[in-house]
Chains A and B, each alone.
Chain A
Amino acid sequence: EAEVAQSPRYKITEKSQAVAFWCDPISGHATLYWYRQILGQGPELLVQFQDESVVDDSQLPKDRFSAERLKGVDSTLKIQPAELGDSAMYLCASSSRTGVNYGYTFGSGTRLTVV
């Protein structure tokens, strides 16, 4: 079964450092999403891509977060500088708008700890 790949699985970084997460969606999925999940809460959408274009980044803290999907395939989410409050699980998901829509397929996430 096709999967959304994310790396690294875990990341510990010091505050004020830069950190990056990578996501490879299911092949052929044009839409890619980055979510952040704080412990005890549901995932919150940060940014949505359609191919290489940003469709929605209204919840992305743009002073420190950036996201790109240069060739419309894999994507990188960056935080610079990291703050203690950024400690969370960062989830990537992809979906296809063609054919039968089963919603989104999520990766296993990257758990970030900022110390």
Chain B
Amino acid sequence: DAKTTQPPSMDCAEGRAANLPCNHSTISGNEYVYWYRQIHSQGPQYIIHGLKNNETNEMASLIITEDRKSSTLILPHATLRDTAVYYCIVFNTGTASKLTFGTGTRLQVTL
């Protein structure tokens, strides 16, 4: 599975959009981009995933560049409850693949 690079930490003011970047320059054609988050002392929670088109759900939007070498997770109106570690993972949903976590981005939402 391809490796991802994320900034170790980011801050965001409550009510503002949080834009979390991720580089995955070695991604291959059959690999999806998945985002999970982990709130303190809980298990990781699925947020969103995509292959090449931009995706949106009730939690977030995912913007994937045309060359698929990077992506951005957007939380449109961050709240204090969005404070968490966010993991960007490149994942091939074939049977031999596994979800492999890096160290993620620690997002701190402040008043």
Chain B interface, number of residues (Cβ within 8 angstroms): 21
Which chain B residues border A14 with CB–CB below 8 Å? none
Which of the residues B49, B95, B98 comes within 8 Å of A102, measured between beta carbons? Answer: B49
Per-residue B-contact encoding for A89-111, CB less than 8 Å = 1, 0 else: 10101000100011111111101
Q: Given the complex, which residues of B lie within 8 Å of A42, measured CB to CB?
A: 85, 87, 101-104
Rounded to whole angstroms, the CA-CA distance of A101 and B34 in the bound complex is: 11
Could you say which of B41, B85, B104 has the most chain A C-beta atoms within 10 Å of its C-beta? B41
Q: Mark B65-109, 1 if CB is under 8 A from A, else 0.
A: 000000000000000000001010001010100111111100000
Residue of B at shortest CB range from A105? B46
Best-surrounded residue of B43, B85, B87, B100 (most CB of chain A within 10 A): B43
- Asked if B99 and A104 make an inter-chain contact with CB atoms under 8 angstroms apart, the answer reads yes
Q: A91-B44, A111-B41 are in contact. Are A103 and B34 (CB under 8 A)?
A: yes
B49 touches A103 (CB 8 A): yes
| B interface, over-half SS | loop
Which B residues have a C-beta under 8 Å from some C-beta of A?
34, 36, 41-46, 49, 85, 87, 91, 93, 95, 98-104
From B45, B49, B85, B103, contact of A106 by CB (8 A): B45
Q: Are B45 and A43 in contact (CB under 8 A)?
A: no
Are A41 and B44 in touch, CB under 8 angstroms?
no
Q: Does A60 contact B (CB under 8 A)?
A: no
Interface residue? A45 (CB, 8 A): yes
Whether A103 contacts B43 in the complex (CB less than 8 A), given A43-B101, A45-B98, A45-B99, comes out as no
The listed residue (B46, B102, B104) touching A103 by CB distance below 8 A is: B46
Q: Which of A103, A107, A108, A109 contacts B99 (CB 8 A)?
A: A103
Q: Are B98 and A33 in contact (CB under 8 A)?
A: yes
Closest to A97 in B: B95
